[in-house]
Structure 1
């Protein structure tokens, strides 16, 4: 199973009120991404929109009404793009926005989002290795606070962490004596 990084931009930060998704982006490789602007659904009419969020992601309500796609179309295209992938986000709030999108589209949510924190805990990588990987990815100069760019950043970080895990595993294999390898292979 392959991983897809996902990110949402929203109408406001959760501490400011009930927020809805306004953009979703995905990336597999950290080099390319695909994103969709989401036209506000009528069921979100009385939900919160803040100028702070607008300044952060640089998307106005006017632009969303003009260029955004209906939730049904975004949901269908996103479900097709996600296929059978393991979907990873940098924050669990993205799962809420995914569910909010599919609820408005009256479609079943096609995937569960896993948070990168879970992957990091399972990886066994030390915090200094994780921090160094993040620093290397940050130095690549990804744009931030747009869903496609944030998804690219996360996918690039996942790929870098995968490299670190593979290097660690190769190092462990080199450090293991041949008799231990034979014993392991025979179990």
Structure 2
């Protein structure tokens, strides 16, 4: 008896997204290493913790595919790219990665909708909410650096920002607890 409850098309697309999440994890790992090397231990710690969160997202995709009777494929990952040129550049790159990932999640939602795969559509709603959180977090990083003075920030304001991000919670409250009654 065939127990596979997901189309081959969605199985492949979700496997691809699993690998995108792993790439995101490697990218945040790379940025965390860069920040720590620049002396921003708190920001580096924040980015390294975020790397782990992205890996956990990949595991969610892996587990879902397996639960639907599919088999996820681990693919080779490309290198994360060049180091950021500055904190401002780093935070802008974080935002760009999150926006790009949001578009990928939306494409998966559209695929599930077209196939009328309501289980997958429902599964992906967690990621839709998560991407709201991720983009908000990235915008907050950009805003905090602007308040600190951007690329012309003083050493004192950068030290404060570094300390704040080093102890900041990993998740924004926005998406985690959102409901239709409390968006």
Normalising to structure 2: TM-score of the pair? 0.29
Which protein shows a greater Rg?
1
Q: Name the structure with the higher helix share.
A: 2
Q: Which structure has more strand as a fraction of its residues?
A: 1
User: Normalising to structure 1: TM-score of the pair?
Assistant: 0.28
